[in-house]
A and B are shown apart, each in its own frame.
Chain A
Amino acid sequence: MLAVIVRRLLQSVLVLFLMSLLVFVGVYAIGNPVDILINPQADQADIARTIAALGLDQPLWQQYLIFLRQALSGDLGKSFAYNIPAIQLILERMPATLELALAATTLAVALGIPLGLWAGLKPESWSARLIMTGSILGFSLPTFWVGLMLIMVFAIGLGWLPASGRGPTTELLGIPVSFLSWEGIRHLILPAINLALFKLSLLIRLTRSGTREALLQDYVKFARAKGLSEARVLGVHVLKNIMVPIVTVIGLEFGSVIAFAIVTESIFAWPGMGKLIIDSINVLDRPVIVAYLLIIVVLFVLINLAVDIAYSLLDPRVRIDEAKG
């Protein structure tokens, strides 16, 4: 077990190293770092001072070490647009993104598992076919296009829900959240549906194929032969056995929900990290871009690490394989 964790940790460090190298090469070697890191509106004396402070007059490998040291100490420069430290700016936006991602994941799980169970139980019924067609559309339609359609129908056409923004937030343990006020929930509904759609389709398909396989197993036949109620057969015997892959996928996909939040946040003007990075790219606010890239990579490495460890805890077969290999 410990060996698994150590090996995963080493791999994570390797990924972090590679990504820091990639960001460094992108910022320092391909582009002109003076353009990238220094506000174009600064005057000559300012530019000279910053070049010395950033060590841009030193050889490349030393610059990389300076870059690493600054990144590790959490100092990645101030945002040109907001004039506050880039890291602080991003961390301020993180709760909004996490709330949206959690809302979308909850929605996908709450709808996806029952719909998938239904489609797996009655694969030939018209309702199951409808669910499966819907899930194919959910897979293939681009997220941003679905978002636009949601805005067009529910915000502009019917006028039921707001098209953009987060609305008022309530403080919960010092973190601003939307879901505690009705107005906040109204703002959350459309972005959460938009972001949930892809995961929903995935969960429906996964649950459906799991259910169809489980129904053919002897333990289900036996449970039915014992005369257990259909609800108990499904809720306990089937569901319990298909949960391991579903839980894994939910965990693994949480990272991709955060990545796709970039798209949803931009469409619905949701003030999270994703909208911030797109806005920063559009106004060339480079310290924020660099800081975002590093933070998102760290976040992903942590999520992958957590999922890997959780997976080897949940599934004994993985542990045995690892011990052998």
Chain B
Amino acid sequence: MFDENELKKIEELKRHYPQGKAVLLPVLWMIQEKYGWISTDSMKFAGDLLGIPYEHILGVVSFYTMFNEHPVGKYNLQVCTNVACMLRGGYELFKYISDKLGINNKETTSDGMFTIEEVECLGSCATAPMMQVNNKEYYENLTTEKIDDLIKDFQNNHKLT
């Protein structure tokens, strides 16, 4: 699951906390960054590694919305539709992408490229409408043209920073 360097990083992170178990969230992030989602096996692995019961880890993973309990597309488009975005076209943005890709909320395209997800406020209210991709980059002040370009970019294997 983890290579030597990653295990070393976990040991280092453990030193940030008086109790090693607190490193669970950072470790779950490492799993998701590497594999795109958090499987039952990886939860069990993390449990053995950190001495935490699997049930506790399942409880944590299912509590936080950013942890994917199922695989998602290569590009997970997370569109904010909360009030500030809604006032500036968040729902229209969501619908535009959903129609364009032919998928509904939390669905993935058949080629595994795209997932679309309606998410809560991302703290980007002055640059609405906006979306986040793969829990990382923000794309703000979006227009239909920008979406067209971005999706073309992604289809051409655009690398996320």
Binding partners A and B: no
**B-to-A contact residues, CB < 8 Å:** none
